[in-house]
Chain A
């Protein structure tokens, strides 16, 4: 019966931690006023979280778009509809790949960095030091990073999709000979603002909230030593990736209204 006991203990621990993460989020939202009162703190973090993630997002976006161009052309050409390549590339990026791949890259690049930074600040008593200087680390450290993550994620996803379309165009029109006019026209006619673009933005916003929430919580909750911080960083990447993929399915189902 030991395994049953261990399983029960594991579940209880997970539920308790989830509860703490929830309270943690509520506390962060309680400090959200700093977006106005101390805007510069958020801007600094948008730079650290968003701008430094830009190179990897742009390069990945370009290659994903180029691959989409290649694969899409080959498949569409079989049905004689290679001219619709623009539409295929744009829809794949806006609806799925933009938000999802960006969120995965964001978790790996920005999320892990956030967790490690906050965890190390805890391990080196910087957070405790702030508390003793009567500065609330939740307000000064955690909330600006959380808000920066939420602001950056949709912007990064938008840039990913934009450069992806450019990559698709590069391969489709530049190399494979798809008509440039057809590429853009099918895209313009087929992409719906509400159904495709807004839904994609909603997804990337939700992913931004979830990934950043996991990242800052894992850092703040890390065991304050090198092993603890390493484990927390690991958790951030694994949990955020799983959460992004799981939520993507749920949100897609809701948005399409098929299930």
Chain B
């Protein structure tokens, strides 16, 4: 079992036979997957298939019932609070709606993790924050408050905050949801650029097939708590599996049925009539 720090493994994240339950419902069962260093990996799947739980398992916010979640050689569920927080300093997470602190300005939001973890002099801090904001094109918006930002801008500010401490990996939770096409393009461009320029390993959880496929090197398709398909986006597009086909083509009916399980319609109607 490898638990040493900094093992030169080409996989930054490895999930081994991970089972996760929420209350008594099994969300992920015996799931194994690997995320390669320096790549953009997409994790796609329908709503409620456990994509976000997967990110939270990697970030140590949830604990699996069984299995190992290895991040850079460390088994996340085994870490104590101190080591977990040390690991989180090296990873960032972009939340679906940005999760900006509403009582702080854009500048202060980006400065927040730096202020919390370092004692940079104010002048240097200003340089760092402006540089991060410049990366996402929002240096001019530094004095705005979060409620003055559009959805896309808020997510870009959150991204600037995520890269403030220069993480080795960023977890993106539905980065494209609810954005107009332009903002969507901007976020996609940023994910790709941050990956290429800063060498940040990226995990993009999304149900947006087109956008996620366009920016990822490798993709997993999740459903029913397991992996239904994997490969490069091009390979997934060519897949003959009915599960993969239904998801990639957005078909209303297929292995994932259109109707919610119910008893016979006629029986239902007759019972009402009889009563």
Contact = CB atoms under 8 A, between A and B. Distances in A.
Contacts of B59: 131-132
A135 interface: yes
Given A124-B102, A126-B101, A128-B61, A134 B86 contact: yes
Given A125-B95, A128-B61, A133 B112 contact: yes
Contacts of B139: none
Contacts of B91: 132
B36 interface: no
Given A124-B97, A128-B61, A129-B93, A134 B117 contact: yes
Nearest to A125: B99
A71 interface: no
Contacts of A74: none
A235 interface: no
Given A133-B113, A133-B116, A134-B117, A128 B88 contact: no
Interface residues of A, number: 13
B230 interface: no
A245 to B, nearest CB: 33
Interface in A125-154: 125-126, 128-129, 131-136, 140
Contacts of A121: 102
A126 B116 contact: no
Contacts, number: 51
A121 B91 CA distance: 21
A201 B186 CA distance: 58
Given A129-B93, A140-B116, A134 B88 contact: yes
B101 A132 contact: no
Interface in A190-211: none
Interface in B88-111: 88-89, 91-93, 95-97, 99-102
B100 to A, nearest CB: 8
A245 B106 CA distance: 44
B85 interface: yes
Give the secondary structure class of B's interface.
mixed
Candidate in B61, B101, B165 with the most chain A CB atoms within 10 angstroms: B101
A128 B95 contact: yes
Contact of A135 (B93, B116, B158): B116
Contact of A129 (B85, B95, B116): B95
B90 to A, nearest CB: 9
A133 B164 CA distance: 10
Contacts of B165: 133
A135 B111 CA distance: 13
Contacts of B99: 124-126, 128-129
A125 B101 CA distance: 9
Contact of A132 (B92, B100, B102, B117): B92
B89 A134 contact: yes
A124 B102 CA distance: 10
A129 B110 CA distance: 12
A50 B221 CA distance: 52
Interface string A93-135: 0000000000000000000000000000100111011011111
Contacts of A136: 85
Candidate in B99, B100, B112 with the most chain A CB atoms within 10 angstroms: B99
Interface in A62-100: none
B232 to A, nearest CB: 29
Contact of A126 (B89, B93, B96, B102): B102
Given A126-B101, A128-B61, A134 B85 contact: yes
B96 A125 contact: yes
Interface in B115-139: 116-117
Contacts of A133: 88, 92, 112-113, 116, 161, 165
Contacts of A140: 116
Contacts of B161: 133
Interface string A5-41: 0000000000000000000000000000000000000
28 contacts: A121-B102, A124-B99, A124-B102, A126-B99, A126-B102, A128-B61, A128-B95, A129-B93, A131-B59, A131-B61, A131-B88, A132-B88, A132-B91, A132-B171, A133-B88, A133-B92, A133-B112, A133-B113, A133-B116, A133-B161, A134-B85, A134-B89, A134-B113, A134-B116, A135-B112, A135-B113, A135-B117, A140-B116
Interface of A: 121, 124-126, 128-129, 131-136, 140
Interface of B: 59, 61, 85-86, 88-89, 91-93, 95-97, 99-102, 112-113, 116-117, 158, 161, 165, 171
